[in-house]
A and B are shown apart, each in its own frame.
Chain A
C-alpha cells in the first residue's frame, strides 16, 4: 500500500517537474549533500539518525537566508494524489527556508506520505489538535503566467526536490 502511495506521489511530482528520490536514513545525509547547491540553509531534520550535511547552515541569519541558493526542510507529511508537501511554520524557520531560496529540498518519511487530500486533511486536523496550526500545502514550483508566459520561480522556489526516507 505504502509503496503504491509513494509511486503515486512520484508520478504526481513528475507531472510538476519535481524529482523524487527514495533513500534510506543511513544514506540520507550524503544524498542531500549531493543535491544541495551552496550556499544552503536548512531547518533541523527531526528523523532519528538523519542529520543535515555540515555545510547546510541551520539557524541562518537573514543575510544567509537571502543569499542561500538551497533551503532544506523536513515536511510534516505529503499528499500523493497531488504531489503536495505540507510545510509547517516552525520556530526553526522551515517556512521562510522553504520559500526564499530558489531550490527547496523537502525531506519526508515514507510513512508520512498519505494517499489523497482527505487523508491529508486528517493529518492536518491531527496537527491542529497538537497545536501545529500553520501549514502550507506546497505543490510543485512557484509559478506565474502574469508576464505573458508560464515562468517558474517567481516569489518562491523555481526547483523543488523531494527525498522520501524509505525506512521511516
Chain B
C-alpha cells in the first residue's frame, strides 16, 4: 500500500491548509451554518429524517426486485435499462450509445454534455469517453472549472469550492484569452453560460446522474440550482442517466421526504431551484439547433401528446453496481448505501473545514461518508489513506439527513485497515506493554493510544519519574519516531495518587455517605434519595484528578453519596483507533463491573463526555440489547446529573455560586452535543449564578489521540484556533472534555477547568 510517511502527510496537510484552507472554510462553514438554521426551523425535521432512512432501509433490502421493477417501467416507456457490473462495463456501454448517436459525418467527433455526477467521477467516465475519441464537456460550472483546470473535486456538492474567484479568473483569462480580462463572478458566469450554452445546443448526447430513481414509474430525479441538468437531459435527443443502484426508491410518494431534505442538508436552502422529475422519453419536443428554422413543435402542432413521448427521443438508464451489491451484504457498510450525497457530513466536520476534500478524500468521494464509499467501490486502500482524519467527534451524526452513523463506519473501516496492515517492527515492544484483543500487525501508535489505560496506570504508578522521563528530549524523539506523538504537544502529567486512591483514602463510600447526610440535614429543600457511582475514566483517574474530586464534592454537597470504584476502561480509546475487538471486550467488562450497581438502582455518573458517548452510542453495537439499554438509562453526564438534582429541589447554594453576572465561556464537547447534553450544563451554570456564553465552533481539534499525532499537529491547531478565538475574551473559560480543555489551555495559555470544578464547593480558583 502506497501509504504516505508521517512527515509526507504532515507536509501535505500543511500545504492544503495554506492553499485551499481559506476558501474551503468560508464555503463549508457557511453551508453548515445555513443547514443548522434551516434544520432548526423545520418543524418535522426528525420525522422527515426517520422517514427518509426507513425508505432507504427498505429500498436497499428490496433492491433486486426494484431493479426489475424499474426495468419494466423504463422499457414500457420506450427506454433501456442497463445494469453495469463495474466501471469498465458502464463506460463501454455509454461509449457505445454515444457512438451510435453521434453525427453521421465521420470527421465530427461525437459530443457529450454532462451534468454533475459523482457516479461518473467514480467510474472515470470522461477519461474513458475521451479515449474513444468522444468530446466531453461538463456543464455544472464548478465541475467545468475543474475540467478546465484539470483538477479533481474537493467536495461532493461544491466540487471546485477550494478555488477562489481570483484563481478562477486567472485560469480563465489564461485559457480563453478574452478581450477584457474577467474579474467578477458575474463576468465569469456570463462567459460560462454562453460558452457552455453553445456546446449544449450542439451536443449529440446528454449525460446526467440521478439523485433518485422512482422504480415503479421509471422517473429520474435531478436536483440542481443552475438548471444545467435540465438542459442536458432535454436538449439532445439522447439522454443517458447514470446512477448507482442504491438510488432506486419504490414509488413517487417515497420521493417526498428526500425532495424536502436534500437541499436543506446540502446547502441550507429550503428547496433547490430545480427538482426535475423526468420520466423519459418525455413529451418535450426535441430541439434541433442545427435546423434553426424548424418549429420545435413540428408535427405536434402544440396539441396534447400521446403517452409515449416524443418519438425522436432515446433514453438509457445505466444502473451501476461497482461493489454496491456486496456492500448490501455487508452488515457494517450497508448503511453507506442510504447516503444521498448531500455533503452535510463534510460541511459539519471541523477537520474537513480546514483542509477540504483533497486532504480528506479518497479516489472519488471525500469527507465523512467517503470512507464507506471508497471502501465499497474502490476498496479499503483508497479509504485507508484518509480514514484517520476522522476524530470520531460525531458532529456529522446530527447533520446526516438519513441518520447514518458515519463515525461507526469510520471505526469499522479503521479496524479492517488495521487488520490488513503489514506487521510492524515495533510490535513486540508495544505488545509487551499493552496486551489487547487485537491480532498482530497493528500500527504501534494506534496500539499505544488504544491501550492508553494500561499506559496511564503504569505512568501513574511511576510518577513523577515517568513525567520527567516523558518530557526528556530523547524520550520525546523516540515517542515521535515510534508512536508518531508530536514533540510540540504537551503530554499529560500523570498523578501519583489516582482518583480512586484519593477517594479510598478519605474514607470511601462510608465517609461519602456521612458527608452527604450532613449536607442533607443542612438543606431543607431537596430530598433526593439517590446514590452515585462515579466512573473514573482514564484521564480523570490518572491525570485530571481535580475534576473527579470536584464531582465527588459537588454531589456530596447536594446530598448524594458517591462511590468511586476502580472500573475498567470504557473502550473509547480503543474505538478511536479502530480496535473493535478490544473495545468490545472492554464494554463487556464495564457492564459486568456495573451490573450490580445498576440492579441496586444506583446512578452511574460519567465526567468525560467521550466515555459517556461510548456507553450511550457505541455500546449499542457491542453489548446485548438489554444490557445496553440498562446502562444507557442508568448513566448520566455529571452536569446533566446535577441539573436533574437541582430540578428535583436540590439547593444550588450548596455549590459555589456566582453573582449572576459573571461571564463564563463554556465549550461543551462534540460528542456531548450529539447526545444533546450541552444545554444542561448551561442551565446549571445559570442556576448557579453565572452568565454562560457558548462556543459554536465545531470542535476543539483535539479529539483524544488525534492532536498528538505528528501528521495532524498543524491541522489540530488550525481547528483549535477557531475555537480559542471565540472564547478568549471571557475571564473564565470552562470545557467539558479533557482533550478540549488541554487544547484550550495550550492555545489560551491559562487554566481551563471542567465546569464542575467551578461549581464544586470551595470553588475553583484560576
Binding site for B on A (CB under 8 A): 43-44, 58-63, 65-66, 81-82, 84, 89-96, 99, 117-118, 121, 124-125, 128, 131, 133-151, 153-157
Please, which residues of chain B bring their CB within 8 A of the CB of A140? 273
Minimal beta-carbon separation of A143 from chain B (angstroms): 5
B227, B235, B295: the one contacting A142 at CB < 8 Å is B227
Report the nearest B residue to A41, measured CB to CB.
B296
How many angstroms between the C-alpha atoms of A149 and B165 in the bound complex?
Answer: 8
- Say yes or no: is B413 at the interface (Cβ < 8 Å to chain A): no
Q: Is the CB of B277 within 8 A of A95?
A: no
- Chosen A-B contacts, 12 in total, with CB atoms closer than 8 Å, are A62-B289, A62-B291, A62-B292, A91-B304, A91-B310, A133-B217, A139-B272, A146-B142, A154-B189, A154-B228, A155-B228, A156-B231
On chain A, the residues within 8 Å of B230 by CB distance are 95, 99, 136, 155-156
A134 in contact with B226 (CB, 8 Å)? no
Q: Which residues of B, 277-322, contact A by the 8 Å Cβ criterion? A: 277-280, 282-285, 287-289, 291-297, 300-305, 307, 310
B276 within 8 A of A: yes
B contact residues, range: 35 or more
> B140 on the interface (CB 8 Å rule)?
yes
Contacts of A147 in B (CB 8 A): 141, 145, 165, 168, 185, 188-189, 192
Asked whether B193 is an interface residue with its Cβ less than 8 Å from the other chain, the reply is: yes
Q: How far is the CA of A63 from the CA of B145 in the complex (A)?
A: 28
Q: Which of A43, A90, A117, A133 contacts B279 (CB 8 A)?
A: A133
Known: A96-B287, A128-B217. A144 touches B225 (CB 8 A): yes
> Which chain A positions have C-beta within 8 A of B235?
96
The distance from the CB of B269 to the nearest CB of chain A, in whole angstroms, is 8
* Mask: chain B, 499-528; 1 = CB below 8 Å from A; 0 = not: 000000000000000000000000000000
Indicate if B271 sits at the interface (CB-CB under 8 A).
Answer: yes
User: B274 contacts which chain A residues (CB < 8 A)?
Assistant: 136-139, 142, 156
Contacts of B227 in A (CB 8 A): 99, 142, 154-157
Interface residue from A89, A125, A139 paired with B271 (Cβ < 8 Å): A139
Cβ proximity bits B177-217 to A, threshold 8 Å, 1 near / 0 not = 00000001110110011001100010000000000000001
B193, B283, B296: the one within 8 Å of A89 (CB): B283
From known contacts A62-B292, A90-B283, A135-B277, infer whether A118 and B256 are also in contact, taking CB-CB under 8 Å.
yes
A131 contact set on B, CB distance < 8 A: 307
Q: Assuming A134-B283, A146-B142, A147-B189, is B296 touching A93 (CB within 8 A)? A: yes
Q: Please tell me if the beta carbons of A151 and B186 are within 8 angstroms of each other in the complex.
A: yes
- Residue B275, interface by CB 8 Å: yes
Report yes or no: A134 in contact with B271, Cβ–Cβ below 8 A. no
Nearest residue in A to B193 (C-beta to C-beta)?
A154
What chain B residues lie within 8 Å of A155 (beta carbons)? 139, 193, 196-197, 226-228, 230-231
Known: A82-B271, A144-B226, A156-B230. 19 other contacts (CB 8 A): A59-B295, A59-B296, A59-B301, A63-B292, A89-B283, A92-B285, A92-B300, A96-B234, A124-B277, A134-B277, A134-B279, A136-B277, A147-B141, A147-B145, A147-B168, A151-B186, A154-B141, A156-B273, A156-B274
User: How close is B295's CB to chain A, nearest CB, in angstroms?
Assistant: 5
Instruction: Tell whether B3 is near chain A: CB-to-CB under 8 Å.
Output: no
Min distance, Cβ B626 to any Cβ of chain A, angstroms: 39
Within 8 A of A (CB), among B215-258: 217, 219, 225-228, 230-231, 234-235, 252-253, 255-256
B300 contacts which chain A residues (CB < 8 A)?
A: 91-92
Establish whether residues A95 and B284, one from each chain, have CB atoms under 8 Å apart when the complex forms.
yes
Is B160 close to A, CB under 8 A? yes
- Give Cα A44–Cα B280 distance, bound, in whole angstroms: 23
Question: Which residues does chain A contribute within 8 Å of B282, judged by CB atoms?
Answer: 89, 95, 133-134
* Pair A91/B273 contact, Cβ less than 8 Å: no
Residues of chain A with a CB closer than 8 A to B165's CB: 147-149
Residues on the B chain within 8 Å of A65, using CB: 287, 296
B259 within 8 A of A: yes
CB of A99 within 8 A of CB of B231, answer yes
Question: With contacts A66-B289, A143-B226, A147-B192 known, is A61 near B185, CB below 8 A?
Answer: no
B689 CB–A CB distance under 8 Å: no
Bound: A134/B288 CA distance, A: 21
Given the known interface contacts A59-B302, A66-B289, A135-B277, the answer about A92 and B297 at a Cβ–Cβ threshold of 8 Å is yes
- Cα–Cα, bound, A143→B197 (Å): 15
Whether B634 is near chain A, meaning CB under 8 Å from some CB there, is no
CB nearest to A91 among chain B residues: B305
Residues of chain A within 8 A of B288, CB atoms compared = 62
Top-8 shortest CB links A-B: A148-B165, A156-B227, A63-B292, A149-B185, A91-B305, A133-B279, A146-B142, A146-B141
- Contact between chains at B292 and A125 (CB < 8 Å): no
Contact B253 A121 (CB under 8 A): yes
Residue from B145, B278, B285 within 8 A of A93 (CB atoms): B285
CA distance A98 to B226 in the complex (A): 14
> Contact: A142 with B192, CB < 8 Å?
no
Give the distance in Å from the alpha carbon of A131 to the alpha carbon of B297 in the complex.
19
Question: When the two chains form their complex, are residues A58 and B302 in contact, meaning their CB atoms are under 8 A apart?
Answer: yes
Alpha-carbon gap, A50 to B166, bound state (A)? 49
CA distance A157 to B165 in the complex (A): 23
Once bound together, how far apart are the Cα atoms of A102 and B301, in whole Å? 25
- Find chain A residues with CB under 8 A from B289 CB: 62, 66
Which A residue sits closest to B299, measured CB to CB? A91
Residues of B within 8 A of A81 (CB): 270
B164 at interface (Cβ–Cβ under 8 A)? yes
